Structure 1
Amino acid sequence: MTHSPRTSLEAIQRSNTKSTPIPRILVADNEAATSSSVDLSKSLAIDSALEVDADGVLPPPPSSDRIRRRSELRQKPVFTGEEFELPVLPSLPEGLQTPPLQVHASGIAPGHDDIELASGFPSTTASSVHMEDTSSTAPVLSPAEKAQHRWKGRLHFFALCYCTILQGWNDGSTGPLLPTIQRYHNIGFAIVSLLFIFNCIGFVSGAMMNVYLNDRLGFGKVIVLGAACQLGAYVILSPGGPFPTMCIAFSLAGFGIALQNAQANGFVGNLKNAQAKFGFLHGSYGLGAFIAPLVATNFATKERWYFHYLISAAIGISTTAVLLYVFRLKNQDDIMVEAGHAVAEVDNTRENKYKQIFGLRTVHLLSIWALIYVGVEVTLGGWIVTFIEQKRGGGTSAGYISSGFFGGLMLGRIALIWLNRKVGERRIMFIYAFLAIQLEVTVWVVPSLIENAVAISCIGFLLGPMYPILMSYCTQILPRWLLTGCVGWIGSFGQTGSAALPFATGLLASKFGIGSLQPFVVSMMSTMILLWAFVPRVRRVD
C-alpha cells in the first residue's frame, strides 16, 4: 500500500509525540532475496518523506496544548543514530514457509497507527525464540548404553547390600551364643563382655584408618580389605580356641566391618535417591541379623557350637569374591562413571581432611547419636536372650526373640520409607523414639513372655528406620566433597556403640543382675531424643 509523503509525516507526528530518534536502516543488496521480501529502503521512504538532520533525529512536532512537553514524558534511552545493516537471508526452497520476524530498533515497536512503519515491518507477530546452549559436552547415550549403566548400577548396589548382610549376620550371631560362651569358658558377665570391648577397639581403629586408606588405596581395595579381615576373624573363631583368641578375632572383625560400613555408606550417599537406597542397604543388615539368630540358636545347644563360625566363614568367602568381582579394586570415581552416575566434587586443597572433618560440630553430634543408637540396637539384640532366659523362663529357645527383634528391624527399614518422606525425617525420629520407649517400659514392668516377645519385635520395627534416616540426613547437611569421610567416621564411630553399650550392660548385670538391662536401655533411648533435638535442620553445605 502506497502513501504520500504528507500522509506519512502526519501519521508519524500523531503517533510519535516523544520525538524518539529513528535510525537509518540500510538493507544489503542481495539478488538471492526471496520475492516475498520487501525492500525496506524503498518502503520506508524515510529520506524522501521526512526532513531528517545529519544526525538522523526528527525535528520536534508543532506546539500544541494537547501534546505534553518532553520533560513530562518518561525518559527513554536515546539511539545513537549509527547505521547498521540487516543481513538478508538466502532464498529457501519453494513451498517452505519462513517464520515471521519482528524487528525492534532502540526499543521502538511498530504500532498500527504508524502507517509508514507498520507497512514497512511484517504484519504478523514473531514467535518466541528460545536460545539454548547447544555446546553441552554431555554425551548422547544409546539405549544399549543406558541399559548397561542401569545393569552396572544395580550390580554395584547388590554387592554393597550383600556385604551388609554379613555385617548383620555378625551382630545377630553373638546374642544367642553368649550364654553358651559363658558356660563353655566358665566366665561371668564382666569377662564375656570383653568380646564387645575388643570389638569396639576394632571399630575405632577402622574408623580412624578409613579416611587414610581411602585416599591411599581407593574404594575398591578398601572394601575388599574389610571383607578379608572379617573373613579372617571367622577363620580364627571356627576351631573354638581359648577365650583370648576369641577377643582378637572380634577385634579383627570390628576393623573389617568398620571399613565396609564406611565405604558402603559413603558410596550410597553419592547416588540418586539415596534416602530409599539407604533403607534397602540397612534393611539388608536387618536381613542378616534376622537369619543369624535362627542358625546360632540351633548351634547354641550343640557341643561344638563354634562350628557356627564355619558358616560365617563360608559367607565371608562369597562376600569377598563378590566385592572383588564387582568392583575390581577400582576407585569410587571410576565405578561411578561405569554406572553413569555423576562424580562427586573432589577437594583440591592441601588442608588435612581429618582436621576439616573433626572441625565440623555436626559430625561429632551425629557420631555420638549413632554410637548410642547402634549400642541400643546391639544391646537389645544380644542381651535380650539372657534376660528372657533368666527373668521370663524362656529357655534356650529365647534366641528366636532376638531373631524377631532383627526381623522387625529389617521390615521397618523398608516398609516405613514412605512414612519417613510423608512426615519428614527430622520429625519422624522423635515419634519413633517416643513409641519405642513406651514399648520398652512394658518389657521392663510386664512379666509376660509373649508380651515381651511381641514388644521386642515392635521395638525393632520402630528402631529400624532410624539409622537409614541418619545416613540420609548426613547427605543433606554435610559438605558433599567431605561426605565419604564424614559418613564413614559417623558410621564407624557409631559401630563402637555395639561394643561400648553391651559392655556397660555386662558390668551392670554383674553387679545388679540382668534386670538392669531395661532401665539402662530406656535411659539411652531418652538420650537419643535429647541429642536429636540439637541436630541442625536441613541446610545444604557445599
Structure 2
Amino acid sequence: MGSSDQVVESRLEQTAAADHEPTSPPPFERERWNRPKSNPFRLLASFFSFFLSGMNDAVYGALLPYIQSYYGLNYTNVSFIFLAPFGGYTVAAFTNAMIHAHFGQRGVAIVAPALHIADYVITCLHPPFPVIVVAAFLGGLGNGLLDAAWSAWIGQMEKANIVQGVLHSMYSVGATICPLIATSMVTQLNMGWYEFFYLMVGASVFEAVTLSLTFWKKTGIVYQQQTHGNSDTPTHEKTGNRRALMNKITWLCSSFFFFYLCIEVTMSGWVTSFMLNVRRASPYEAGLSSTLFWAGQTVGRAFLGPVTERYGERLCVSIYLALSIALELVFWLVPHFLASAIAVAFLGLFLGPMFPSATIMAAKLLPRHLHVSSLGFSIAIGGTGGAIGPFVVGPIAYARGVWVLQPIVLTLLGILAVLWLVFPRIKNEESDNTSTR
C-alpha cells in the first residue's frame, strides 16, 4: 500500500486548511487498525475506554444488594440506579452528531471522560441516594457518547468484525473483573461499597488523558472533510440527524440494540440477586455468577468475531440467538446453582458477539454519511434498553419475586430473534468486500 497507508489523515487536515476547498467529499479510503499510523494508539485508548465502560455498567449489579442495604431501599427504589442512565443515553442520542460536526472525535474524547470523572467522584463520596442517581445519569451520558463514536468509527474499517469484536471484548473484560473486584472488596476486605469507586476515579483520569492525546487531531473540520467535503457544519448536522431518523435501518437497528442491551444489562444487573435469593448461593458465589456471564461475553467477542467475519453476520447471529434461547431455558428450568452458573457463562458467550455483529450489519446497510448520525442514535437508544430493562425488573421482582428475571429474559430473546430476521439482506456484499481489500 506504500505511502497511502500514512497520508489519509494528513491529507484530510491539509485539505481542510487549504484556501481552495473541495466541492465534494474526498474519495473514501477504508481505514485499517494500523492505517493511518496513529490508529494503533487510538485503538488502544478506545479499548481502555470500553474497558472502563464495561466496569461502569457491571458494577451496580454486583453492588446492588449492598447499596440496597446501605440506603435501606426496596427493589423498586434501588432500581432507579438502572433507570438513571436512560436520560444520559437519550441526551447522547441527540448530541452525538452535533459534537462530531463541531468538535469531531476530539470532542467526544474530552467530554465523555469528564462525565465519567464527575460520576465516580460523586459516587465515592456516598451522598444521599438521589444524588447517586444523578451521578449515574452522567455516567450514562459518557457511555452513550463513547459507545456510539468508537463503534461507528471502527464499523467502517477493513476486517471490522474482528476489530469491533476486540473493542467490545474489552468492554466485557471490564464487566468481567468488576464484579469480582467489587464483591471481594466488600465481602473479603470488609470495605464500604463506595470505596470501589476510588479505583474508578483513577481509571477515568487515565482515560481522559489517553483519549485526549490520541484523538487531538480529529477535529470537527477533519470530520466534515472526511464525510461531506466542503460543507456548512450546522446544516449537515441537522440534515444528517433528519435523514438518519427517516431511514428505516436506523429504527430497526435502534430496536435491535434496545432489546439486546435490555437483555445484557438486566441479566448482569439482577443475576447476583437471583443467585442469592432463588439459587441460595453464598454472596461470593452470587457475585461470581456475574463474573462468569461477562467472562463468557469476553471470550465470545474475542474468538467468535473471526468466525462471524468468515461466515457472515446473518447466519452466525441466527445460530447464536438459537443457542442463547436454549441456554436461557436451562438457566430457568434446572434449579441447581452449578447448572445455572454454567448456563450463565455460555449465555454470555453467545450473546457477546451479537452487538458488534449488528453494528457491522448496520454499517453495511447505511450510507457512509449517515454512519455517525444513524449508528450514534441507534446505539444511544439501545443504551436506554440497558437502563429501562433492569429498572422494570425491580418493581416486578418486588411484587412477584426475583425469579421473574428468567421469563422476562426469555421473552426478550424471542423479540430479539424476530428483529434479526427482519434485517434486510446486504446486496453485492461479496463485491464490496473484495473492492476494499
Q: Which bracket does the TM-score occupy, shorter chain normalised?
A: 0.7 to 0.9
Q: Which residue number corresponds to residue 215 of structure 1?
A: 101
Q: How does 1:145-294 map to 2 (within 5 A)?
A: 151-294=37-180
Q: Identify the structure with the greater helix proportion.
A: 2
Alignment check: 8 A CA contact 1:267 1:332 kept: no
TM-score where L is the length of structure 2: 0.86
Report the secondary structure of 1:370's partner residue: helix
CA distance in 2, matches of 1:188, 1:299: 23
Report the secondary structure of 2:206's partner residue: helix
Q: Which residue number corresponds to residue 377 of structure 1?
A: 264
Alignment check: 8 A CA contact 1:159 1:323 kept: yes
CA distance in 2, matches of 1:329, 1:430: 40
Q: 1:171 to 1:344 in 2, by over 3 A?
A: same
Deviation of residue 421 (structure 1)? 2.9
- Deviation track 1:157-204 (CA, whole Å, cap 9, x = no partner) reads 111111111100101111110000110001111101111111111111
Q: How does 1:378-393 map to 2 (within 5 A)?
A: 378-393=265-280
CA distance in 1, matches of 2:84, 2:255: 19
CA distance in 1, matches of 2:130, 2:248: 38
Q: Which residue number corresponds to residue 415 of structure 2?
A: 527
Report the secondary structure of 1:538's partner residue: coil
Say whether 1:429 aligns with 2:317: yes
CA distance in 1, matches of 2:227, 2:48: 24
Q: 1:347 to 1:465 in 2, by over 3 A?
A: farther
* 1:366 aligned partner, one-letter code: C
- Deviation track 1:458-484 (CA, whole Å, cap 9, x = no partner) reads 000000010110111111100111111
Q: Percent identity of the aligned residues?
A: 28
Q: Which residue number corresponds to residue 394 of structure 1?
A: 281
RMSD of aligned alpha carbons: 2.5
Alignment check: 8 A CA contact 1:219 1:331 kept: yes
Deviation of residue 334 (structure 1)? 4.5
Alignment check: 8 A CA contact 2:101 2:223 kept: no
Structure 1: gaps (5+ residues): 1-137, 338-342
Structure 2: gaps (5+ residues): 11-31, 433-437
Deviation of residue 336 (structure 1)? 12
CA distance in 1, matches of 2:412, 2:423: 17
TM-score where L is the length of structure 1: 0.70
CA distance in 1, matches of 2:300, 2:414: 20
Bigger-Rg structure (1/2): 1
Alignment check: 8 A CA contact 1:477 1:540 kept: no
Alignment check: 8 A CA contact 1:357 1:486 kept: yes
CA distance in 2, matches of 1:217, 1:149: 22
Higher relative contact order (CA 8 A, sep 6+): 2
Deviation of residue 346 (structure 1)? 4.7
CA distance in 1, matches of 2:377, 2:245: 9
Greater CA deviation, 367-376 or 350-359? 350-359
Q: 1:455 to 1:333 in 2, by over 3 A?
A: farther
Alignment check: 8 A CA contact 1:196 1:500 kept: yes
Q: Which residue number corresponds to residue 383 of structure 2?
A: 495
Greater CA deviation, 422-431 or 373-382? 422-431
Alignment check: 8 A CA contact 1:476 1:539 kept: no
* 2:382 aligned partner, one-letter code: G
- The total of aligned residue pairs comes to 398
Deviation of residue 273 (structure 1)? 2.0
Q: Which residue number corresponds to residue 367 of structure 2?
A: 479
Deviation of residue 140 (structure 1)? 9.6
Report the secondary structure of 1:416's partner residue: helix
Q: How does 1:66-145 map to 2 (within 5 A)?
A: none
Deviation of residue 209 (structure 1)? 1.2
Alignment check: 8 A CA contact 2:50 2:167 kept: yes
Q: Which residue number corresponds to residue 331 of structure 2?
A: 443
Deviation of residue 423 (structure 1)? 3.0
CA distance in 1, matches of 2:428, 2:374: 15
